[in-house]
Each structure stands twice: as C-alpha cells, then as structure tokens.
C-alpha cells in the first residue's frame, strides 16, 4: 500500500509539473521591428568583407499574442564591405548586414543593414598640397567605427516559428509556483 501511495504521489507531481514546462510554438511575424545592439566593435581599418560579428536584442519585444522576446537574445551579422581610409583624404567605408537572432533552436532571420563612410578631408588635402607640394597628398581620410553597444533598428525578414518558453541566454525558465506546495504535501 505504501508503494502504491508513493507511486501515486510521484505521478501527481509529474502531472502537476509537466504543464509548467509545456512547450508551444508562436509566430514572430515578418516586419516585426527589433532594436539590435552590436556586441563587437567594428572599424573600416580592421574589418574585412565576410567577417562575422555578434549582435543581441537590445529591448524586450512583445508580440501580438502577448509572448515576449526577451532582451539579450543573441545572433550574428556579417561585414559586407570594408575599405580602409585612403591617401588624398579618401574616407574609409564599412557596410554590415544583420543575419539572425537565436531563440532556442530557432533562427529569426533579420532584414537590416548599416552602411557608413568616414569623413573626407579633401579640403585639408588640397590646402596641404598647395603649402607643401606632393607631401600634402599623404593626408588620410577618417575610418568608420561602430562601437560595441551601438543600437540599430532591424526587422524580421520572414515569418518565424519559435518554441516557448523563450529565454535569454543565461536565464532559466521558472516552473509555476503551484508546484512547490504539491511536492511538500506529497512528503507528509
């Protein structure tokens, strides 16, 4: 009888706990606006086409059904064009593209890019050339820099199916609070 009672209690605890971690799926619709943070610093001086960099979701996003994509979801982007600053005041160039964010095992494809050009210094170059001759042509433009922590808006590129619960890296989903009293009652 005691074995039957123990087995019944264990089954009830499993039955009560199972819904706390039940997984369902939700749709993240195409066009959902996301605030993306660069986790790596990039520069037209050091970056090369094809380099990968880390990004993360900067702010929580609440979907139409009430599900929240938590800040901190991580993903990746790629440098699509990089050109160092040049002589004669030519500025550096840097173009990047956001690829995806990961939510559990799902990848949420992103549509977003940033292109920038450093400031040109043509006027300074011309002045230096007039004053110092060909040595004035050595004047360089400025490189483009994207600092870690800088934010940019991106959009979900296509409808994505994500399994819930969705948790940011480093966090653990907590079970429903009713689990603890049921377990405590089973021990008596």
Measure the CA–CA gap between 136 and 6, rounded to whole angstroms.
88
How is residue 11 written in tokens? 């089954």
pTM assigned to the model? 0.66
Q: What is the pLDDT of residues 96-135, one digit of tens each?
A: 999 999 998 999 999 986 655 544 444 443 444 444 444 4
User: Which residue did the predictor score with more confidence, 137 or 166?
Assistant: 166
Do 94 and 104 contact (CB within 8 A), yes or no? no
Calpha distance 19→145 (Å, rounded) = 48
Residue 48: count of CB within 10 angstroms of its CB = 10
Peptide bond into 165 cis (omega under 30): yes
Q: What pLDDT does residue 47 have?
A: 92
pLDDT at 32: 94
């Amino acid at each position: 009888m005691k074995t039957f009672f123990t087995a019944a209690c264990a089954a009830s605890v499993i039955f009560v706990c199972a819904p706390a971690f039940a997984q369902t799926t939700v749709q993240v619709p195409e066009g959902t606006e996301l605030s993306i943070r660069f986790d790596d610093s990039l520069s037209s001086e050091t970056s090369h086409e094809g380099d990968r960099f880390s990004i993360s979701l900067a702010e929580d996003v609440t979907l139409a059904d009430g599900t929240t994509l938590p800040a901190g979801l991580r993903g990746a982007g790629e440098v699509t064009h990089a050109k160092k600053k040049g002589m004669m005041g030519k500025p550096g160039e840097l173009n990047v593209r956001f690829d995806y964010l990961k939510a559990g095992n799902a990848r949420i494809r992103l549509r977003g890019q940033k292109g920038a050009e450093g400031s040109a210094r043509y006027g300074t170059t011309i002045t230096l050339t007039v004053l110092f001759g060909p040595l004035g042509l050595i004047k360089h433009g400025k490189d483009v820099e994207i600092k870690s922590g800088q934010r940019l808006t991106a959009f979900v590129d296509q409808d994505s199916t994500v399994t819930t619960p969705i948790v940011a890296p480093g966090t653990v989903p907590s079970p429903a609070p009713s689990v603890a009293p049921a377990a405590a009652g089973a021990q008596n």
